[in-house]
């Protein structure tokens, strides 16, 4: 045991403050979140926004968990808006404590390795499901098991009973096939309770001089945990440590005598009676692991700050960065913003900027930090329309998909909750006149009660929305016949572009460049006359 712990400690220390490369099954990792969302979905990051803002990739950056339940809890925390700032401050203080208290942190982590097996993901179903399969007739399984056992014994004394014994055993095999399918997910969770109970009991014994709420709760639950371990009996046998002969014997007992099914239905009542306590134990163990994971991430990043939540419905930040971009260019806004219209060239940084704002909004309201030197924002739920995939099967165009998304935003904007809407290249799939008209009307409507960050190539929107939106732009730089992007946001409307200059730099024919310049001047004059 000492040697194993020594190896594990070396592993933990080598990975502290570093991203961990490993396979992650997001269907399993997200199961705890999905079960929680059923209760009140509006206070969670929706699937579209999660995809638009690449939150799965962000999770990979944050995930340094030892246990599977720690992964699930971290994924849950990342996607749940927390309105109670006191709780957020308490959560963040725990990250700093575990970052600072190395010995305590490592003692906790050593007790979490038993929850690293993939089967531990299924414990979440037990602690949150309200419809766990149960049957008031499960005692009939006892009868079938005992009857087949007795008939097998009798067949040794009288060959007449062989036929009856075979019939009883075949009946049990059929029952095992039918009911095993119904309880499979929950059964896997039951078998993993051993690991959770053992880890929780070990954690409850850790002596420390700091006040860590989770350890205190586990200590209070230790008597209950020991009782549950006794009551669950068969289910908390650590089958991984059994030899091959014992495992084969158990498999035959399951097949012919229904051991697993009987144990499952016998244990459901115990589970349901103690489900809330088991959930508290689950959350405490998972919270410790996920908190250490975030502490490791904070150890790695160079700069972050706690958010300031204002009541003025304005946004202000300094050196804001995107967590998924190495050596990200920081951006600063020196004045308080309401809704924002952002223009500029392709690849200049418009989309990345609104993603950066969205991700930091979510981090601030879930983990109480942002990647910036200062971040003052209202508490808003982020909704995005950034990625649009052509749905050929349903025959939907990019434009129609966006109409559906923005219609949903309009419905949300009338609700009691405030939102930050992130919209990339609004209505880009239709003609110019209708695009400008529709964009103006929709954006003004969304701006009534909420904040909007929208990107566009249509510089005409700057005039149409000038009274209600702050104007910013990104642009490419052209110096010494070379162009590049500095990815820095510029305050004010975009007055001119470099597109024709780029044609010249890229050695387009002189006639094309000259005609482009001529037509640009002509169109600009016509615009001014109109």
- Look at 80-89, 242-251, 308-317, 489-498 and tell me which has the smallest mean pLDDT: 242-251
Lowest mean pLDDT among 98-112, 291-305, 320-334, 478-492: 478-492
Dump pLDDT digits (tens) for 430-475.
Answer: 788 888 999 999 999 999 889 999 999 888 899 899 888 999 988 8
DSSP 270-327: HHHHTHHHHHHHHHHHHHHHHHHHHHHHHHH-S--B--EE-SS--EEEEEE--TTSTT
What's the mean pLDDT in 16-42? 91
Cα–Cα separations (whole angstroms), residue 159 to 37, 233, 257, 453, 473: 59, 36, 21, 83, 91
Determine the average pLDDT of the residues in 31-45: 87
pLDDT at 26 over 90: yes
Using an 8 Å Cβ cutoff, are 255 and 263 in contact?
Answer: no
CB within 8 A of 388, min separation 6: which ones? 398, 401, 402, 405
Distance CA 70, CA 75 (A): 9
pLDDT given at position 524: 63
Confidence band for 392, pLDDT divided at 50, 70 and 90:
very low
Give the pLDDT mean for 148-164. Answer: 87
- CB-CB contact of 75 with 33 (8 Å): yes
| Range among 103-107, 434-438, 475-479, 519-523 rated most confident | 103-107
Q: Which residue has the higher pLDDT, 272 or 528?
A: 272
Mean pLDDT, residues 320-324: 96
**236 or 406: whose pLDDT is higher?**
406
pLDDT for residue 403: 86
Q: Reduced to 3 DSSP states, what percent helix, strand and coil does the chain have, rounded to the nearest 5?
A: 60, 10, 30
CATH number of 308-497: 3.40.50.300
Domain ranges of the chain: 2-300, 308-497
Q: Residue 530: what pLDDT?
A: 54
Check residue 183 and give its pLDDT.
77
What are the tokens at 363?
A: 């981090």
The bridge status of strand 381-385 relative to strand 419-423 is parallel
d(CA 508, CA 259): 79
Please state which of the ranges 101-115, 185-199, 249-263 shows the lowest mean pLDDT.
249-263
Residue 100 has pLDDT above 60, yes or no: yes
Residue 413 scores a pLDDT above 80: yes
Of 408, 451, 399, which is closest to residue 428 (Cα–Cα)?
Answer: 399
- Looking at residue 280, its pLDDT comes to 96
């Amino acid at each position: 045991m000492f040697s194993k712990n020594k190896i594990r400690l070396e592993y933990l220390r080598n990975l502290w403050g570093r991203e961990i490369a490993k396979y992650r099954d997001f269907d399993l990792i997200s199961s705890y979140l999905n079960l929680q969302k059923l209760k009140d979905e509006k206070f969670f990051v929706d699937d579209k926004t999660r995809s638009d803002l690449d939150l799965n990739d962000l999770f990979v950056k944050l995930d340094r968990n030892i246990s599977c339940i720690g992964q699930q809890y971290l994924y849950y925390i990342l996607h749940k808006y927390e309105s109670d700032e006191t709780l957020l401050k308490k959560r963040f203080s725990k990250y700093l404590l575990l970052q600072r208290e190395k010995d305590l942190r490592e003692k906790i982590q050593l007790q979490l390795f038993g929850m690293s097996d993939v089967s531990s993901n299924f414990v979440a179903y037990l602690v949150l499901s309200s419809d766990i399969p149960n049957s008031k007739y499960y005692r009939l399984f006892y009868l079938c098991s005992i009857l087949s056992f007795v008939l097998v014994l009798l067949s040794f004394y009288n060959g007449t009973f062989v036929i009856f014994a075979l019939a009883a055993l075949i009946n049990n095999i059929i029952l095992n096939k039918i009911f095993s399918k119904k309880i499979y997910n929950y059964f896997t969770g039951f078998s993993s309770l051993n690991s959770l109970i053992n880890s929780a009991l070990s954690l409850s014994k850790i002596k420390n001089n700091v006040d860590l709420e989770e350890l205190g709760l586990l200590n209070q639950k230790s008597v209950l945990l020991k009782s549950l371990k006794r009551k669950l009996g068969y289910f908390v046998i650590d089958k991984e440590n059994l030899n091959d002969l014992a495992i084969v014997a158990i498999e035959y007992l399951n097949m012919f005598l229904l051991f697993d099914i009987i144990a499952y239905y016998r244990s459901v009542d115990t589970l349901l009676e103690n489900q809330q306590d088991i959930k508290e134990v689950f959350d405490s163990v998972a919270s410790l692991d996920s908190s250490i994971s975030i502490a490791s991430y904070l150890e790695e990043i160079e700069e972050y700050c706690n958010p300031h939540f204002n009541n003025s419905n304005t946004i202000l930040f300094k050196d804001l960065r995107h967590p998924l971009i190495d050596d990200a260019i920081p951006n600063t806004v020196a004045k308080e913003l309401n809704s924002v219209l952002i223009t500029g060239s392709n690849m200049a940084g418009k989309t990345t900027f609104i993603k950066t704002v969205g991700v930091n909004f979510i981090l601030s309201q879930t983990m109480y930090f942002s990647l910036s030197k200062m971040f003052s924002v209202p508490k808003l739920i982020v909704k995005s329309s950034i990625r649009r995939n052509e749905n050929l099967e349903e025959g939907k165009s990019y434009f129609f998909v966006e109409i559906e998304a923005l219609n949903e935003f309009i419905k949300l904007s009338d609700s009691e909750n405030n939102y930050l809407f992130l919209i990339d290249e609004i209505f880009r799939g239709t003609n110019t006149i209708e695009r400008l008209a529709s964009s103006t009307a929709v954006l003004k409507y969304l701006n009534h009660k909420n904040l909007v960050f929208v990107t566009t190539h249509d510089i005409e929107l700057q005039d149409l929305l000038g009274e209600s939106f702050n104007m910013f732009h990104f642009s490419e730089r052209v110096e010494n016949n070379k162009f590049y992007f500095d990815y820095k946001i510029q305050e004010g409307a975009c007055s001119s572009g470099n597109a024709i200059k780029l044609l010249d730099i890229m050695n387009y024919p002189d006639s094309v460049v000259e005609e482009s310049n001529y037509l640009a001047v002509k169109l600009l004059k016509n615009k001014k006359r109109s």
